[in-house]
Structure 1
């Protein structure tokens, strides 16, 4: 027969797995009597667990929230998820860094060795940036651990990479890279690596990577452009090669009060000219993209600088006019052929 301690842990694990448990089903799963179930429930209550008896023909038990946090049980995947979340929390700037680090140390100390090895292999950096509307991409813990392990060991990786701009059916050789950093940003995981075939730095989305084995030879680490991986990743998100600035930046006058612009200026600089006008200096990855983003304010716009932004507005206007003309022609053609 199982020891009392083992039996209590098994009972607690079952109570955490679902909301309501009929007493008869608990007794059957644990292979004990109804009386022993009631006695073990009382023991758990004495330890601080809030377990409520449920009424009905199959009267049973429910684990509810109590006044204090009792010891908890986690399965292997939950332990890894908790450890990753705590590691991320240490750099959020939310004032919980020290508590998160202490909690991570506590969790690691009581981990089985098999989980501790997995956790120790997973090292990554969190890149804080403004929220976006992109859907987070799911990546298996095994892949993240494999990428992190190769990064720490300085081993060349070979993998197939899904590039949405290429024909997925076209045969392509595997990518060969020197992995330098595994980072998490905006709900996605990225590998910062030196591409050996392209002789340049690349940013790979982890959810598009399919590893090939075995890994390649060891390599000497290179200096990340700019010296800071966070700045480098933020720069790539902006379409810049190394510096964390928009490659195209301009300044305009908007015929709106400053209070109407500030909530939507994002990382732009807003200055008041008078109660009805303000200036906005902002950037984008191209001049057309910058011009298009500025039209969201739905007001008159005067370009201050540079001339490239004025040209971009002209090109955008021409595209919009061509689209409107084509749409009108298509509607007229459809109407003429309708019965």
Structure 2
């Protein structure tokens, strides 16, 4: 079941088209990755989803509510963690949560319970009475996340949540995301320009560049549909150029590179390791180590756009 439906969203700023007919769906309870380089249009789309911006065309439904026609009801279903921190630094963590919880309409015993819960799941229980201005960047980010979940949203939008955070906070954030999806059934929209984060968290992804869809769907299916770019790494004691040329002629090998007697074979679905081993044995090549490296989303992005994600 889809909890978010984005259909044909376009947006211009003056003469610049920043979103070009974007469409996708997000399933209930999943962690959905929305990825692209800085300036790709990710934050603009998030701002439209949260009704901070109005699209030039297209529609968005969240929890069954049209974000343009019923923005209040749609936003009641959402929690939002923006890139820029939204906290009162002169107050402590508990008082921040108490203030924002009241804005959600929480009060009394329920508010106290939700504050305690949010502090626990974000790992901030021991620092709840410390002023936010003394927090590290990672702790502030976790507190911002705690604020966003006080009302138990069905959909949680995280816009670049690990920018500027320390490794410990990053791990806290990852554990938190996985836990609320599993335990609360929360749907998470996770935007990032770090492909390795999406690889760890998200099964389905939408890749955007220059305001346009690059690819959309199951992460592994995207990688398979674009190209088979898996690699086999073979460390040898010594290998001749003639043997390398013979390897290039084997079925299932698209490319062979050699550096300091370490072979990198770029392979496709027809690759057979037995054929490689048989050839190397015939050529009396001593093998020291064999390893396998799967294609990454970064490879897909490079293949489709001709540039790396951080270009």
TM-score after normalising by structure 2 = 0.26
TM-score after normalising by structure 1 = 0.25
Which has the larger helix fraction?
A: 1
Which has the larger strand fraction?
A: 2
**Structure possessing the higher radius of gyration over alpha carbons:** 1
